[in-house]
Structure 1
Amino acid sequence: MTASEHIPPSSSIASDVFARDELSIGLTLPITADHQSIVDFNEQIALGCLADGLGYRALWVRDVPLNSADYPDPVGHLDPWVLLGALASNTERAALISGAIVLTLRHPLHIAKGAFSVNTLSRGRFILGVGSGDRPPEYAAFGRDPDERRDLYRRHWDTLAAAVALPSRVIPDSAPEGAPEFYLLPRQSSSIPLLAVGSGGQSVDWIARHSLGWMTYHREPHAQRGRYSMWRAAVERAASGAFRAFGVAMRLDLSDRPEEPATDISLGYRTGHRALIDLLHQMRESGTHHVTLNVSSERRPARDIIEEVAAYVLPEFHR
């Protein structure tokens, strides 16, 4: 088995988030209003602590290296390792997940060092989600060729997978004569789970062979069922009988009227909590194992939404 084909054994935190025939619910940070560019990240950490205490299974953090006038996200995101470190030091139970570190624009050994650091600070609560990025001009800014994205993703995955496995192994880019054998510290007691977020330009068969699961964006229910069927077929071809998770990032504009029916918005729904429960039950039945909510605070304070979902929705799914 090559390094790239290594699937780390299931950790307790991975099984808390991704379990066969169950659905768990997480929260994506930062929580912002539409077109909001200035974010109080101390408040975001407080919201993460609130969600952690109320029983959300995961807190997700994005990696947005650079901003530009033509990029639609105006938020000045913190470096993900800094925000993950702050969340690791201020939360107790929720998994911390990178959604997703841009594997093609960062050296995989730097990523592994960050993963070791967050996993240590959080006492084993880190899941390493990686993606490939999708903006060619950003590739150019980092001296990368976007046409090499697929190959670069696979090469970096090989190095990263070897580093976060147990035992950890450092694969250097080059090893001149007399070079020492390197290793990463602090040592880990278990492998760090490695998750594909998006496709990274790879086939679903490749993802099924190499990752603990596949995280995608929300699609309308019929398309999502088709995507899950495609995923299950790939898992059966690549790892017959094995469990590989399927997760969805979904935008949520939660109405203050519990009975309001669900209506489509970009990448999610505007809905009251009763219809949200029905939607999530349907997603679980169609094969989704985890949903992270990208909450809109345009109409209601984020704290109110987090508390309402925790009071009415989480008990339906979290045992």
Structure 2
Amino acid sequence: MPITGQNQDVVDFNEQIALARLADRLGFRALWVRDVPLNSIDYPDPVGHLDPWVLLGALASNTERIALISGAIVLTLRHPLHIAKGAFSVNTLSQGRFILGVGSGDRPPEYAAFGRNPDERRDLYRDHWETLAAAIAMPSRVIADSAPEDSSEFYLLPRQSAPIPLLAVGSGGQSVDWIARHSFGWMTYHREPQAQRGRYSMWRAAVERTVPGAFRAFGVAMRLDLGNNADEPASDISLGYRTGHRALTDVLHRMRESGTHHVTLNIDSERRPARDIIEEVAAYVLPEFHR
């Protein structure tokens, strides 16, 4: 979210909330929210994204069952304790439906705007991850940047009944082994099928090297331009497919068979209303996977 057409920069967020309610009611598994702190003429996405914590709070209050996932909070440009507080808040409002996805950001000028050195992003990512992971674990532990000798110990409220899952979105400049060791899963972008199978094989090998026998999720973000003709074959577009719903079902079956556990559908609503696409996918595609 938000679900927009190409080059759309003005978004009706009341309509976005309505679409979220619809997706929740129809059985989609998750709503994903991006973190885009600043816009510029050099950044290809013109959409004025809401602050992710504000939008996640609204989604938590307007949905009942669907998971809420940040895809992804820019870990390097936010203090990890602020991120942890936001995660606790959304998880409480949603009654345990929140998954915290984090990334490193990829725009050097944006780093400069926040007083960060982009050459240090790998170290920043690891350091902030350590503090964040400790804060959202069970039991929660606050790692202070510094602590005077006479200071009391800090803790985070409201208390949680379970740890909040921490998901790596992209690589954050880290090795696959590091991600497998520290994250409950890895979310990556769409690639052609053979390349994606190789990516998954690399992921499974890293999991077996670092945490043998553990489950670690593998997810893919895929752009979807759903045609009116249900029998339209899948054709490649940037980061996804233009297709009818029957071929989409076949694509998703093949992705599941090759190791993908979760797919985000980045819906292109340029030619068809987003509501129609959501309803068609729910009617014909979801039953194949959500029995």
1:67-99 residue CA offsets vs partner (Å, 9 max, x unmatched): 000100000000000000000000000100000
List per-residue Cα deviations over 1:7-26 (Å, max 9, x = no partner).
Answer: xxxxxxxxxxxxxxxxxxxx
Q: Deviations over 1:177-202 (max 9, x none)?
A: 11110000001011000000000000
Corresponding residue for residue 11 of structure 2: 39
| Shift of residue 213, structure 1, vs aligned partner | 0.5
The structure 2 residue matched to 1:62, chosen from 27, 30, 34, is: 34
Given candidates 108, 112, 118, the residue that maps to 1:146 is 118
Q: What is residue 11 of structure 1 aligned with on the other side? A: none
Q: Does residue 305 in structure 1 map to residue 280 in structure 2?
A: no
Q: For the residues of structure 1 that align with 2:3 and 2:237, how far apart are their CA atoms?
A: 17
Q: Give me the whole-angstrom Cα distance separating, in 1, the residues matched to 2:199 and 2:15.
A: 36
Alignment map for 1:150-299 (pairs within 5 Å) = 150-299=122-271
Amino acid paired to 2:92: T
- Residue 282 of structure 1 deviates from its aligned partner by 0.2
Partner secondary structure for residue 246 of structure 2: helix
Q: Distance in 2 between matches of 1:257 and 1:193?
A: 39
Per-residue CA deviation, residues 109-148 of structure 1 (Å, 9 max, x unaligned), is: 0000000000000000000000000000000000000000
* Structure 2 length-normalised TM: 1.00
RMSD, aligned CA: 0.4
Q: Which residue of 2 aligns with 1:124?
A: 96
Unaligned ranges ≥5, structure 1: 1-28
Write out per-residue CA displacement over residues 150-172 of structure 1, whole angstroms, 9 at most, x where no aligned residue: 00000000000000001100000
SS in structure 1 at match of 2:232: coil
Give the partner amino acid of 2:13.
Answer: F
How many Å separate the matches in 2 of 1:179 and 1:265?
56
* Per-residue CA distance 1:225-254 (angstroms, 9 max, x = gap): 000000000001011111100000000000
Give, in whole Å, the separation in 2 of the partners of 1:179 and 1:224: 50
Query: Identity, % of aligned pairs?
Result: 86
CA distance in 2, matches of 1:63, 1:48: 18
Where do 5+ consecutive residues of structure 2 fail to align?
A: none
CA deviation profile, 1:48-84 (whole Å, cap 9, x unmatched): 1100000000000000000000100000000000000
Q: TM-score, normalised by structure 1?
A: 0.91
* 2:58 paired with 1:86: yes
Q: Secondary structure at the match of 1:199?
A: coil
Displacement of 1:176 in angstroms is 1.2
Question: Which structure exhibits the higher relative contact order, with contacts defined as CA atoms closer than 8 Å and separated by 6 or more residues?
Answer: 1
**Secondary structure of residue in 1 paired with 2:253:** helix
Measure the CA separation in 2 of the matches of 1:39 and 1:177: 50
Q: Which amino acid aligns with 2:259?
A: G
- Aligned to 1:149, what secondary structure does the other structure show? helix
Structure 2: distance between partners of 1:280 and 1:32: 22
User: How many Å separate the matches in 1 of 2:48 and 2:59?
Assistant: 18
Classify the secondary structure of the residue corresponding to 1:86.
helix
Secondary structure at the aligned position of 2:101 is classed as strand
Q: Across the two proteins, how many residue pairs are aligned to each other?
A: 291
Counterpart in the other structure of 1:104:
76
Cα deviations by residue, 1:268-306 (Å, 9 ceiling, x for unpaired): 000000000000000000000000100000010000000
Cα distance in structure 2, aligned partners of 1:177 and 1:93: 45
Q: How is 1:10-49 mapped onto 2 (pairs within 5 angstroms)?
A: 29-49=1-21
Separation in 2 of the partners of 1:112 and 1:42? 27
Q: Which runs of 4+ in 1 moved over 6 A?
A: none
